[in-house]
Amino acid sequence: MAQITLKGQPIETVGELPPVGSIAPDFTLTQVDLNDISLADFKGQRLVLNIFPSIDTGICAASVRHFNQLASSLQNTRVLCISADLPFAQKRFCGAEGLDKVLMLSSFRHDVFGSAYGVTVKTGPLRGLLSRAVVVIDQNGRISYQQQVPEIGQEPDYDSALQVLN
């Protein structure tokens, strides 16, 4: 399990992110239209998984905005913004913000995602939500970058994730 903090207080996740070089664990998540989508649907594309606790927090919203801005300049790359939020909340947020370059996905009916990627928060007040992490999957389905953000209240390292894609 990963040891991270929330406002300086230790919390734990159910596991660790998949290591760089490993095959990305399969997943199924729910889109804002309530249809499910899986990793296989993105075969041959590079993916950025922007994983976070809730769209209704400032840092999470900032990461979605930032990745939406970056997404249009990335070749053969989809940015998936993943949280346990209901798809209705994700759709409302993106509509209000005019964000259309990222794909919002929910783990609300697919808790296997959080376990497979080791990002479900196991202890503390955010228990059951997803931790803040970034995972880059190459076009062959292998993990090429991963970051478990050590303090859940800080933004991910966008530059390091992008370096892998350039």
**Residue 70 banded pLDDT, cuts 50, 70, 90:** confident
Compute the mean pLDDT over every residue in the chain, rounded to the nearest whole number: 91
| pLDDT exceeds cutoff 70 at 50 | yes
Q: Taking a C-beta distance cutoff of 8 angstroms, is the pair 105, 31 a contact?
A: yes
How far apart (Å, rounded) are the C-alpha atoms in residues 55 and 59? Answer: 8
Residue 82's SS3 state is strand
Mean of pLDDT values over 127-146: 96
Q: Is 81 a catalytic residue?
A: no
Query: What digits encode the pLDDT tens for the residues 110-122?
Result: 989 999 999 999 9
How far apart (Å, rounded) are the C-alpha atoms in residues 92 and 160? Answer: 30
Greater confidence (147 vs 92) lies with 147
Q: What is the pLDDT of residue 94?
A: 73
Mean of pLDDT values over 39-50: 96
Residue 164's SS3 state is helix
How far apart (Å, rounded) are the C-alpha atoms in residues 43 and 61? Answer: 27
Q: Global pTM?
A: 0.93
What CATH class does 22-165 carry? Answer: alpha beta
Q: What is the pLDDT of residue 60?
A: 65
Q: Of the residues 60, 70, 80, 152, which is catalytic?
A: 60
Among positive and negative, which fits the CA dihedral 93, 73, 27, 3? negative
